Structure 1
């Protein structure tokens, strides 16, 4: 199950939730109970391992 990061625009509370793809996004803050919660998107880290990347590639 994917983990989603949420932040409340009203109080600034940050939290993460494990949700299925079929679940509705969370819209109500568990701290202040306002409907100001939005998903926080961030870059996914990519790590290339092994030989054959960049320096050893054929030109």
Structure 2
């Protein structure tokens, strides 16, 4: 007499990630720089300072 075999159902996995992400200091990727800092090497010759245009007066 054959008894039906029950399939083994795995335990339900919890919502917790088994491999949590490593802390930021262990991350091999460089952290993002703040927006105000220039990226890369500075230019060999800085661009000239532009003066704002003077207001023009229209006299008619």
TM > 0.5 fold call = no
**Range class of TM-score, shorter chain:** under 0.3
Query: Which has the higher relative contact order, 1 or 2, with Cα contacts under 8 A spaced 6 or more apart?
Result: 1
TM-score normalised by the chain length of structure 2: 0.20
Which structure has the larger Rg over C-alpha atoms?
2
TM-score normalised by the chain length of structure 1: 0.20
Greater percentage in strand:
1
